[in-house]
Amino acid sequence: MNLSYSAEYEKFREEVRHFLAENWTEADRAATPDAEGVGAMTGAALRTDDRATEFRRKAIARGYMYRHIPRQYGGGEQPPDPLKATILADEFRRARAPFEIMGQGPSMLAPTLVAHGTEEQKQQFVEGTLLGRIRWCQGYSEPNAGSDLASLRTRGVLEGDHWVVNGQKIWTSNAHEADWMFALVRTEPDAPKHDGITYMLIDMKTPGLTVRPLRQMTGEADFNEVFFENVRVPKDSIVGERGRGWYVSRSTLKNERALIGNATFARRTFDGLQMMAQLTEVRGTPVIKDPVFRDKLVELEGHLLAAEYNGHRLLTAGGRGEDPGLPGVVTKLHTTTLGYHIGKLAMDMMSDRGCLAPGEQNAPAAGMFGTGYMWYFGMALGGGAPNIQRNVIAERGLGLPRDPRR
C-alpha cells in the first residue's frame, strides 16, 4: 500500500512551507508568550492579537484558512480537499503558527449564518467572527433542558419592533467574555415543542442580561448562568424563520459536535505528552524509554490516527454533499474519550506533580495536562452526554431498536 503524497500535493506542501517561512518567522514565534515547549501545542494556534490577526488575513487570502467559507464573507473559499487540509494542519502546527480559531463563533455560528442567515447578518458578523474580533457564546442549555433541549422555557414575546426575552440559560461557555450570544428562545408557546423555537442573536451588553460565573474543578470559571429579565432584542435579530429555530440549531449542533470531536485538540495534547515524556525522568531514565509507557503511547496514537482519518472521511463527504452516516455519529464520543485517556496517561507519568495547578512552582508543562485532563470530563458532556451519544450511535448509526420509554 502506497500512503505517500503525489507530486501535486508535495508541491502544495512546499508552497505552504514557503508561505510560513516568509510570514511567520522565528521572531514571531519568539514574540508568542506561550510558543515555547509544551505550551506551543495549544496557545499559538488560538492567539487573536494584532500579529496573529494580520497573519490570518494573509493565510485566508491564500486560501489556507476557513476554506469552507465564501470569500465575500471573509473566508478562503476553496474546494474541499482532505489531503490539502491535512497538509495545512501539519505544516502550521510544525511552524507553531496561528491557524483557524476553534471556538463557538468561528466553528459553530459562522457556518450556520452562511447557510441560514440574511445577507446583512453575514456581512455584519462572519468575517469579524473568523478573525476573533467578535466573540460568541451559545445560549442553549437550561436548568431543565439539557439533553432534552427542546424542553427549553426561555420565552420571547414580540412587542412592536423588539422581542422581550425572559428566562435563564446555564452552562454557557465564555458568556462572561462574549460580545454576542446565539440563543434558542421559545416564541410560540402553543406550538409543538420542536416547532415553537426561534434562533436569536443577542447583544450581551443589552440591559436586563446578567451573567454569573460557575466555578469548575479546574479552578477556572469558563461556564456561566445567564439570566434574561425583559431583555429587548431587535425583531430582525433572528436567524431563519420565526418558530423554525430548532431546524437552524441542528446545523449549529452538527458543527458543535464536529468542533468537540475534532482531533486537533487531542493531537496537540498527544504531541505535548511525547515531548514531556522525553523531558521527564524516573530513576534517571527518560519515561519515553520505558517499554510499558511506549506500548500505551503507541496504542493511543493508533486511536488518534483513526480519529484524524475519520475526520478526512467526514470532510470528503461534506464536500460531496453526502450524509457521512455512522462515521459522523461516532466522532464526538470517540475523540473526547481519547482525549481523556491521553490526559490520564500524562497524569500517571507525572504522578503527584501532575496535580499542581497552572502557575504553581514546579508544575510540569505549566499545569497544562492536569487542567486538560479535567477539561475533557466537561467536553464529554458538551454537545450531548456519552450515554445520549451511545443511544444516537445505536439507533441512528446502527439501526438498533430504540430504548423502551417508560
Give the three cell numbers for residue 220.
Answer: 477556572
Backbone angles phi, psi at 282, to 5 degrees: -125, 120
Eight-state DSSP code of residue 215: -
Fill in the amino acid letter for 202.
Answer: I
Give the three cell numbers for residue 258.
Answer: 464536529
Eight-state DSSP code of residue 356: P
CB count in 10 Å sphere of residue 170: 20
Hey, CA dihedral for 373, 374, 377, 381, is it positive or negative?
negative
Are 258 and 118 in contact by the 8 Å Cβ rule? The answer is no
Hey, CA dihedral for 343, 344, 345, 348, is it positive or negative?
positive
Helix then strand then coil, in percent of the chain rounded to 5, is 50, 15, 35
Q: Which of 246, 222, 252, 224 is nearest to 107 (CA)?
A: 252
Give the three cell numbers for residue 288.
Answer: 519515553
**Which residues are part of the catalytic machinery?**
256
Rounded to whole angstroms, the Cα distance separating 208 from 258 reads 33
Fill in the amino acid letter for 238.
Answer: I
Q: Which residues of 309-340 are buried (b: 16+ CB within 10 A; e: fewer)?
A: ebbeebbbbbeeeeebeeebbbbbbbbbbbbb
Are 314 and 324 in contact by the 8 Å Cβ rule? The answer is yes
